[in-house]
Structure 1
Amino acid sequence: MISPFTIDVPQADLDDLTDRLTRTRWPEELPGVGWDYGIPLGRVKELAEYWRTTYDWRKQEARLNELPQYTTEIDGQRVHFVHIRSAKEDALPLILSHGWPGSYLEFLDVIEPLSAEFHLVIPSIPGFGFSGPTHETGWGVDRVARAWAVLMERLGYDRYGAHGGDFGSGISRALAVAAPESVVGAHVTYLPGPPPPGVTFELDEEDTRRLARIKELIANRPAYQALQATRPQTIAYALTDSPVGQLAWIAEKFTEWTDPESDISIDHLLTTVSLYWLTATAGSAARLTKETTGGASPVSPAPLGIVVLPHDITKAVRAHTEYVHNVVRWTEFEHGGHFSALEVPDALAADIIAFFRQLES
Structure 2
Amino acid sequence: MADSTQVDASSRRRFMQTAVAAAAAGSASGFVLADTAISTTSRPPGSDKTAIRTLRVHAPEAQLADLRRRVKATKWPSRETVPDDTQGVQLATMQSLAHYWTTAYDWRKVEAKLNARPQFVTEIDGVDIHFTHVRSRHANALPMIVTHGWPGSVIEQMKIIDPLTNPTAYGGTAADAFDVVIPSLPGYGFSGTPTTTGWDPARIARAWVALMERVGYTRYVAQGGDWGNAVTEQMALLKPSGLLAMHTNMPATVPDDIADDLKYGKPAPAGLSEDEQHAFEQLDYFYKHGLGYALEMANRPQTLYGLEDSPVGAAAWMLDHDARSQEMIARVFQGQPEGLTRDDVLDNVTLYWLTGTSISSARLYWENKFNFFAPKHVEIPVAVSVFPDEIYSAPRSWTERAYPKLIHYNRLPKGGHFAAWEQPQLFTQEIRASFQSLR
Confirm or deny a common fold (TM above 0.5). Answer: yes
Structure 1 residues 255 and 212, CA gap change in structure 2 (3 angstroms) = closer
1:321 aligns with 2:390: no
Contact kept, 8 Å, 1:95 with 1:162, in 2: the verdict is yes
Contact kept, 8 Å, 1:201 with 1:319, in 2: the verdict is no
Deviates more, 1:123-132 or 1:258-267: 258-267
Report how far residue 320 of structure 1 moved. Answer: 2.1
Structure 1 residues 201 and 181, CA gap change in structure 2 (3 angstroms) = farther
1:130 is paired with a residue of what secondary structure? coil
Matches of 2:326 and 2:435, distance apart in 1: 26
Matches of 2:327 and 2:89, distance apart in 1: 17
Q: Which residue of 1 aligns with 2:242?
A: 182
Matches of 2:91 and 2:189, distance apart in 1: 27
Query: What does 1:72-87 align with in structure 2 at a 5 Å threshold?
Result: 72-87=122-137
1:332 aligns with 2:411: yes
Q: Which residue of 1 aligns with 2:224?
A: 164
Task: Encode CA deviations 1:78-120: one digit per residue, 9 max, x unaligned.
Answer: 1110000111232111001111111111111111111131111
Matches of 1:242 and 1:152, distance apart in 2: 37
Q: Which residue of 2 aligns with 1:343?
A: 422
1:50 aligns with 2:50: no
Report how far residue 162 of structure 1 moved. Answer: 0.5
Contact kept, 8 Å, 1:132 with 1:279, in 2: the verdict is no
Q: Which residue of 1 aligns with 2:431?
A: 352
Report how far residue 220 of structure 1 moved. Answer: 6.5
Matches of 1:10 and 1:254, distance apart in 2: 33
Deviates more, 1:131-140 or 1:226-235: 131-140
Structure 1 residues 284 and 342, CA gap change in structure 2 (3 angstroms) = same
Report how far residue 196 of structure 1 moved. Answer: 4.0
Report how far residue 327 of structure 1 moved. Answer: 1.3
Point out the structure with max Rg over C-alpha: 2
Report how far residue 212 of structure 1 moved. Answer: 3.8
Tell me the amino acid that sits aligned with residue 273 of structure 2.
Answer: D
Two-structure CA RMSD over aligned residues (Å): 2.1
Matches of 2:311 and 2:193, distance apart in 1: 18
Contact kept, 8 Å, 1:258 with 1:338, in 2: the verdict is no
Tell me the amino acid that sits aligned with residue 226 of structure 1.
Answer: L
Report how far residue 218 of structure 1 moved. Answer: 4.7
Q: Which residue of 2 aligns with 1:114?
A: 164
Q: 1:267 aligns with which of 343, 359, 364?
A: 343
Q: 1:247 aligns with which of 315, 318, 331?
A: 315
TM-score by length of 2: 0.77
Tell me the amino acid that sits aligned with residue 150 of structure 1.
Answer: A
Report how far residue 197 of structure 1 moved. Answer: 5.1
1:247 is paired with a residue of what secondary structure? helix
Matches of 1:158 and 1:208, distance apart in 2: 42
Matches of 2:218 and 2:270, distance apart in 1: 39
Q: 1:39 aligns with which of 83, 86, 89?
A: 89
Tell me the amino acid that sits aligned with residue 271 of structure 1.
Answer: D
Structure 2: state its 5+ residue gaps.
1-50, 167-176, 259-268, 329-336
1:161 is paired with a residue of what secondary structure? strand
TM-score by length of 1: 0.93
Query: What does 1:284-295 align with in structure 2 at a 5 Å threshold?
Result: 284-295=360-371
Task: Encode CA deviations 1:141-181: one digit per residue, 9 max, x unaligned.
Answer: 11111110000000011110011111111111211222432
Alignment length, in residue pairs? 358
Deviates more, 1:24-33 or 1:313-322: 24-33
If asked which structure has higher relative contact order (CA below 8 Å, sep 6+), I would say 1
Tell me the amino acid that sits aligned with residue 197 of structure 2.
Answer: T
Tell me the amino acid that sits aligned with residue 211 of structure 1.
Answer: F
Contact kept, 8 Å, 1:133 with 1:284, in 2: the verdict is yes
Greater fraction of residues in helix: 1
Matches of 2:299 and 2:142, distance apart in 1: 39
Contact kept, 8 Å, 2:148 with 2:185, in 1: the verdict is yes
